Amino acid sequence: MALSHAERSDQPKKACWTPGCSWKRCLKYMKSVSIIIVFAFGFTGIPSAQEVQGLKALRSDLESIISDSSFSNAFIGIEVKDLKSGEILFAYNQDKDFVPASNMKLLTTSTALSILGENYQYHTYLMANGYVLDDTLFGDLYIVGSGDPTISGRFTNGDVVKVFKGWADTLKLLNVKVVKGNVIGDDRVFDNVPVGGGWGLAWHEDVYWYAAYISGLSFNDNCVDVTLKPGKQGAPASYTLDPSTSYVTVVNESRTTDDTVSTVDFYRDPATNVIHIYGNYPKTLDSMKVSLTIYNPTLYTATVLFETLNSAGIKLTGRPFDISGYRSISRVPPYNLMWTIASYTSPPLSEIVKVVNKRSQNFYAEQIFRTLGKEKYGIGTFENARKVEMSFLYSIGVDTTKIEINDGSGLSSWDLVTPHAIVKILEAMRKSPVWESFYSSLPVAGVDGTLEFRMKGTRAQGNVRGKTGFIENVRSLSGYLTTLDGDPIAFSIFVNHYTVPTSAVNALQDMICTRLCNFSYK
């Protein structure tokens, strides 16, 4: 059958083994094939023998690191991706689920920056439902919460009640010296579930800052700061509270001794604000500061504002309330019928996420997580927040069928994430309009945050930016680095169920990161 002109023109020229082919025609054919090969392969990243050897050496080294017999009983998952070429440089159990610990904060902060925006701010209002006559306000004061985690000393040079002092000054400018009413905290932007699912804390762990309650109205990270100093020999250690408040009752069972190591510990009676201090405090130890959680953050906030107003010379005839315990909520007037006395606006979200990721601050992460639900569905419940986060992750290509989200901070042992999912998030964020805010929120190896003392003196120092994670028998590290060739890398390293010291797991992760920073195809 005769071929059409078009079909004939697409047929290859005859090669030299074809009868009747001249050497000139063969040479012309070979040149054309060479050009085709260059275009087909030379510009599409087919690695040279040297590049193949470099990658082979990298994979061999990483396999050797994770094959250490000390980790034979542990579960390890890793994915390393070259964000320039898109090549997976190394993968091991990358599609298996692991407990991520604080790597969950990568999900929370990436979603929040992308959905809420890096310039998002919280607004908390002080409102009144009465009127001022002469120097007296006849009516109640309402603190209307927005889920803001930042009303504390963190952004006010350590003055934890600076915002409340400012509100007192505003009342004075209005010539208010007496308030014939109560101070009521309104936390209804969130539900009343104060912890994440699967927070399997030991019997007294809920007193420590990392387990602070979630609330629509919060103050000082929902903690009281306790500073200890030695007392007289054999006597209890002395202590001060910040803020100085009657909301907390301290039972001091500590003792000042000649010991060189402190055995002081703390616990809070369940569903109360009775905090016990016990153990031996060395007389040679100058001071020790700890942040301890309180029960009912909303009432705590209202109480400290009440006390701050009194200290400023404003007399209140009522008392502080949590709105859920104030008479009948149905009797609370609508806020559009009240007047605003003062307000507080938080720093932008770009600054707030730095606290979340660099310090690995659980309370901030949980507040931001619930805020996602509040902004999308009107109330900050766990389920609403989860729906928003899952939707975002799905939109950037994460397989959400392989993820379990039970909180925003990673304190839950029920959370499950794959290394591949984390790398997918890191890759998407590098292309995001909020990339700079996300990237700058991550700790820098050997420089700051939770990586301040790791990878010092190596090429990873100042290079690796990553989020750490830790709960019992779980250690994670995920983030970014740059290779010796200048190529950007996203990586995720999970280690679960290990029984060696956590310092040994840190060393394993640091070795992997350092090897990647020294990787070159050349």
Of 223 and 11, which is predicted with more confidence? 223
| Alpha carbons 222 and 137: distance in angstroms, whole number | 29
Peptide bond into 243 cis (omega under 30): yes
Cα dist. 491→82, 418, 494 in Å? 9, 12, 10
The pLDDT assigned to 203 comes to 64
Architecture of domain 52-118+350-517 in this structure: 3-Layer(aba) Sandwich (3.40)
Which regions of 285-338 does DSSP assign to beta strands (E)?
A: 288-293, 315-316, 320-322
Q: How many residues does the chain have?
A: 522
**CATH topology classification for 123-192+297-347:** D-tyrosyl-trna(Tyr) Deacylase; Chain: A; (3.50.80)
The pLDDT assigned to 522 comes to 81
Task: Find the farthest-apart pair of alpha carbons in the chain and give their distance in angstroms, rounded.
Answer: 116
The tens digit of pLDDT for each residue in 302-340 reads: 999 999 999 999 999 999 999 988 866 667 778 999 999
Q: Which residues pair with 79 in a beta bridge?
A: 91, 492
| Alpha carbons 25 and 17: distance in angstroms, whole number | 12
Fold equal for 52-118+350-517 and 123-192+297-347 = no
The tens digit of pLDDT for each residue in 265-312 reads: 999 999 999 999 999 999 999 999 999 999 999 999 999 999 999 999
- 3-state class (DSSP) for residue 110: helix
- In this structure, are residues 238 and 219 in contact, taking their beta carbons and an 8 Å threshold? no
Q: Which residues, in sequence order, are CB contacts of 221 under 8 Å at separation 6+?
A: 149, 152, 154, 209, 212, 291, 361, 363, 364
* Alpha-helical segments (H) within 222-361: 297-311, 349-358
User: Nearest to residue 128, comparing CAs of 324, 446, 340?
Assistant: 340
**What residue ranges do the domains of the chain occupy?**
52-118+350-517, 123-192+297-347, 205-293
